[in-house]
């Protein structure tokens, strides 16, 4: 059904998958998504960038990818810190997005985990977290998308890293039209993600259709 919709109305679609903190472009969820699309919906290309850089460098890379693919139907899927990046892309470029246990205020999380006295802190061989990074996350990237109908929020109450209620409150103000699926138990990784892939792809395709038709 997805292939038929794409062939008839959209052609090809590009999914930008944004992994979480201390993960990389080989993240399990990203690989599951790419494998599913390759097998079942080859009209969907999955882009898996490595985000282990400063937030400013990540934004430059993602902005460039979007500028290079303005002729494509672009959507994004992000997990944890990647969910924060996906929120940024949705707000800046009005892209449909799926957010998986997203970080809402990552600068607060980093402050509580590392503290000002530990900065700069080496996260990977390619990224050392600085106070400038935290400021950039907070003041340059924290913008809620205007069209929340394009957002699908996937939360699990058992998330041991992030309090799911922060994201639920952030996206579900009184007049919000954001779609949210909240599951009991679960965890931050969302181990049943593979079961959700057909549903989230259908959501993204239909949001592209509503913009295109």
Q: What is the pLDDT of residues 153-200, one digit of tens each?
A: 999 999 999 999 999 999 987 567 899 999 999 999 999 999 999 999
Give the structural domain span for 82. Answer: 2-105+146-212
Q: Which residues pair with 124 in a beta bridge?
A: 127
User: For the domain that residue 92 is a member of, what is the CATH number?
Assistant: 3.40.50.1820
User: Given strand 44-47, what is the order of strands in its sheet?
Assistant: 44-47, 13-18, 73-79, 97-100, 151-156, 179-183
Does 84 map to a domain?
A: yes
Q: Tally the domains of the chain.
A: 1
**90-108: per-residue pLDDT in tens?**
999 999 999 999 999 999 9
In a domain, residue 153? The reply is yes
Residue 73 domain-assigned (yes or no):
yes
124 in a structural domain: no
CA 12, CA 9: separation in Å to the nearest integer?
A: 9
Residue 70 lies in a domain: yes
């Amino acid at each position: 059904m997805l292939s038929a919709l794409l062939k008839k109305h959209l052609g090809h679609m590009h999914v930008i998958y944004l992994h979480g903190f201390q993960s990389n472009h080989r993240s399990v969820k990203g690989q599951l998504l790419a494998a599913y699309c390759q097998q079942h919906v080859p009209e969907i290309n999955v882009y898996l960038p490595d985000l282990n850089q400063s937030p400013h460098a990540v934004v430059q890379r993602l902005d460039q990818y979007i500028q290079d693919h303005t002729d494509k139907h672009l959507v994004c899927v992000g997990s944890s810190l990647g969910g924060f990046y996906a929120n940024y892309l949705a707000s800046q470029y009005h892209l449909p997005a799926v957010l998986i246990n997203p970080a809402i205020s990552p600068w607060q999380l980093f402050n509580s985990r590392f503290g000002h006295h530990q900065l700069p802190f080496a996260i990977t061989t390619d990224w050392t977290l600085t106070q400038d990074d935290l400021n950039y996350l907070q003041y340059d990237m924290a913008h809620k998308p205007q069209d929340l109908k394009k957002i699908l929020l996937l939360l699990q109450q058992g998330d041991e890293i992030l309090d799911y209620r922060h994201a639920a409150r952030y996206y579900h103000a009184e007049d919000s039209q954001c779609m949210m699926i909240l599951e009991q138990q679960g965890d931050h990784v969302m181990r049943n993600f593979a079961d959700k892939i057909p549903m989230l792809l259908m959501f993204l395709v239909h949001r592209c259709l509503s913009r295109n038709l």
